[in-house]
């Protein structure tokens, strides 16, 4: 992890993010471009609805970034982005899985959701996801802190393909100080951490 640097996803870092997505056919999930969790409303605030498709996901994500409605910590190895972790408010990222079940039990919505990780296939199992999570925590602290919530895989002792680790693992979040709350769906759980202002 020592050689990695994290930066916020902004218009200035968009090209590095886009290059990483393009190297992986839109970063999985049918060319998602890390838009899946944005899509409950299928549109950015103040815009017309956008149908979900691989063809328009890139432009949709770019509009979200340019208007300040998409947040992520990008991990750089030198000048090249090799991974990211997406985060944002519940309004920004409404499209979590098992949402109905989740809302039946939640008492207070978090300030931030950490929903998605992606790592370049050439850099997997080298600490990129942990670096991305560290970057997210720093960015949240810099924005004033608050309650952060994540939905990682909870499959202790089972080997899981990297394809299905888009939400990372319970163990990684535990090492970062997150506390287990309860299960969510079949293989995931809810974890929370209060992040102090930085």
In this predicted model, what pLDDT tens digit does every residue of 27-57 receive, in sequence order? Answer: 766 688 899 898 764 444 455 555 555 568 8
What is the reported pLDDT for 157? Answer: 66
Instruction: Examine the pLDDT at 165 and tell me if it is beyond 70.
Output: no
Query: Of all residues in the chain, what percent carry a pLDDT higher than 90?
Result: 58
User: Containing domain of residue 23, as a range?
Assistant: 4-195
What is the reported pLDDT for 44? Answer: 47
Instruction: Examine the pLDDT at 2 and tell me if it is beyond 90.
Output: no
pLDDT band at 168 (very low <50, low <70, confident <90, very high): confident
What is the reported pLDDT for 28? Answer: 66
Distances (CA, A) of 55 to 8, 50, 76, 118: 25, 11, 26, 20
pLDDT band at 88 (very low <50, low <70, confident <90, very high): very high
User: Average pLDDT in the 132-138 region?
Assistant: 97
Distances (CA, A) of 171 to 39, 77, 154, 159, 167: 28, 24, 8, 13, 12
Based on the structure, what is the number of domains in the chain?
1
According to DSSP, the residues that pair with 179 across neighbouring strands are 192
Instruction: Examine the pLDDT at 181 and tell me if it is beyond 90.
Output: yes
CA-based nearest residue to 172, from 155, 195, 185: 155
Computed over every residue of the chain, the mean pLDDT equals: 87
Q: How far apart are CA 139 and CA 143, in angstroms?
A: 6
Which CATH number is 59's domain given?
3.40.630.30
Least confident piece of the model among 73-77, 83-87, 97-101, 149-153: 97-101
DSSP-derived letter for residue 57 is H
């Amino acid at each position: 992890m020592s050689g990695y640097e994290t930066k916020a996803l902004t218009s200035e870092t968009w090209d590095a993010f886009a290059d990483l997505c393009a190297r992986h056919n839109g970063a999985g999930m049918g060319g998602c471009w890390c838009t899946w969790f944005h899509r409950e409303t299928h549109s950015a605030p103040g815009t017309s609805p956008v149908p979900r498709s691989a063809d328009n996901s890139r432009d949709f994500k770019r509009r979200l970034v340019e208007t300040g409605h998409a947040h992520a910590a990008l991990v750089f190895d030198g000048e090249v982005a090799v991974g990211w972790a997406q985060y944002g408010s519940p309004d920004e990222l409404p499209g979590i899985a098992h949402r109905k079940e989740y809302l039946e039990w939640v008492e207070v919505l978090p300030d931030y959701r950490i929903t998605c990780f992606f790592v370049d296939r050439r850099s997997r199992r080298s600490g990129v996801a942990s670096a991305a999570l560290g970057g997210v925590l720093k960015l949240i602290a810099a924005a004033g802190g608050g309650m952060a919530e994540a939905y990682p895989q909870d499959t202790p002792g089972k080997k899981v393909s990297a394809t299905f680790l888009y939400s990372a693992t319970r163990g990684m979040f535990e090492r970062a100080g997150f506390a287990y709350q309860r299960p969510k769906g079949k293989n995931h759980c809810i974890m929370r951490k209060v992040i102090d202002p930085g």
